[in-house]
Structures are given as C-alpha cells and as structure tokens.
Amino acid sequence: MVYITSTDVKLFGGLADSDTYEDALLGVLIPIAQQMVDTYTERTFEYTNTSDASEARVFDAIEDVSGRTLNLDMDLHSIRSVTVDGVAFSSDSYVTEPRTSTPYFGITVLGSSSDSWDYGTDAENAISVDGHWAYSLTAPADIQVATILLVEYLMKLRNSDIALTAPIIADGITIMPSQMPAVIRTILNQYRRVFIGVV
C-alpha cells in the first residue's frame, strides 16, 4: 500500500535512480507524506492487495442503518460478503451506493429482497462487511503527484526558515503545516471525504 516509491520522487526531481544519496531520507519521508495525504482527506487511496487480502468491518444494525441503507464509515472499493448475525446476504439482494462507480459509501437492501438488516440479540456489531476498504485499487495519478510534492516539500524543510511549519505527529495524529503549498491543497481538497451518516 505504497502510493509512490523513491524512484518516483527521483524521476519527478530529475535525478537518476542510481543516485542513492537521499534514499535513507526518502524511506522516512514517503510514508509520512502518504499519512499526511490520508489524514488530510480522511481516506485511504490504495488497499493492501497482497494475496488479494480483504478486511471485515462490523457495523451497528441500528446506529449505522438508515431505512434500507447501511452507511459505511470508510470508502469501500469491492465487496466480498455481507452478513447479519453470521447469515450471509446474496449478492443479488442489495445494491451499492453509488450504483456504478467506486468507492461505495453505502449498501442498500432491495425492496424485493427477503434479506434485511434485522438482527437477533444485539444490534451492536451485528452487521459484517468483508471487502477491500480503500478509495481505489491503486492511488490516482494526482494523489501520487501530491504525495511526491509533499515529500519534496518536507525535504526542503530541513534547512529552511519555515521549519516551524513542519508536520507535528503526536499520538498518531499528523497536524498539517499551515504553509503547505497551495497546489498540494488544491489536489487534496477535491478528495476530502464527506461523511454520510444517520441523522
């Protein structure tokens, strides 16, 4: 789940891949820049596809459901299975929101289906959705460019008067520098996640 590599950064900066002078620094800064992208947009742009791995996330059958629609708390690129109290839904019994594009933000049970979000004993964690939780299979090209630009920006902070605007990472939370270049913010702003939930 790496959006860019050190080779990408070097190519963008006009350096030869054989130039290993900054490799150690790039190895540190690339994951930081990627985390900054994810934190700013509240998204993950690429799932870990080793062995086509998927992940099951659980939902509350009351709090996370509005009518016939389950509201997802993350982007979902593809669905492996949907279950309620361990009973699997047929893939013909629901549609995704949106219907024809990813990422999905909801799953709606068809009005004609016998399946429903009805639960047995406890609503909490009654629903399980197994799938690939990410915006896309691979990070979009402009997200890759934004990540490269962030790496270059962070590299320039080393001996700069704007070092005080470097990201602060505390308790796993990255605080964005106020002077992050406008071109990066412009790219990322179009991807910022709008959460849809039960009112």
Helices then strands, counting H and E runs in the chain, come out as: 4, 10
Cis peptide before 103 (omega within 30 of 0): yes
CB 80: neighbour CB atoms within 10 A? 13
Evaluate whether residue 197 is within a structural domain. no
Evaluate whether residue 178 is within a structural domain. yes
Q: Counting Cβ atoms within 10 Å, is residue 59 exposed (0-12), middle (13-18) or buried (19+)? A: buried
Token representation of residue 4: 């860019």
- State which H helix or E strand residue 174 sits in: strand 173-175
User: Going residue by residue through the chain (199 aa), what tens digit of pLDDT does each one get?
Assistant: 789 999 999 988 887 777 777 888 899 999 999 999 999 999 999 876 655 678 899 999 999 999 999 999 999 999 999 999 999 999 999 999 999 999 999 999 999 999 999 999 999 999 999 999 999 988 999 999 999 999 999 888 776 655 545 555 545 655 555 567 899 999 999 999 875 544 3
Q: Give the whole-angstrom CA distance, residue 112 versus residue 46.
A: 34
Please compute, for residue 181, the number of CA atoms within 13 A of its CA located in the half-sphere on the CB side.
15
173-175 and 127-132 beta bridge pairing: unpaired
Domain hosting residue 165, numbered range: 6-45+139-189
* Same domain, yes or no: 57 and 108: yes
Evaluate whether residue 13 is within a structural domain. yes
Count up the domains in the chain and report the number: 2
Evaluate whether residue 199 is within a structural domain. no
Q: Give the whole-angstrom CA distance, residue 7 versus residue 16.
A: 8
Among the candidates 95, 112, 132, a domain finishes at 132
Residues in the chain: 199
* Same domain, yes or no: 29 and 63: no
Evaluate whether residue 1 is within a structural domain. no
* Same domain, yes or no: 40 and 70: no
For the question of whether the overall pTM of this predicted structure is more than 0.95, the answer is no
* Secondary structure letter of residue 20 according to DSSP: -
Q: What was the pLDDT predicted at 199?
A: 38
Concatenated DSSP letters for 116-160? -S--SS-STT-EEEEEE-SS-SS--HHHHHHHHHHHHHHHHGGGS
* Torsion of the alpha carbons at 137, 142, 143 and 147, rounded to the nearest 10: 130
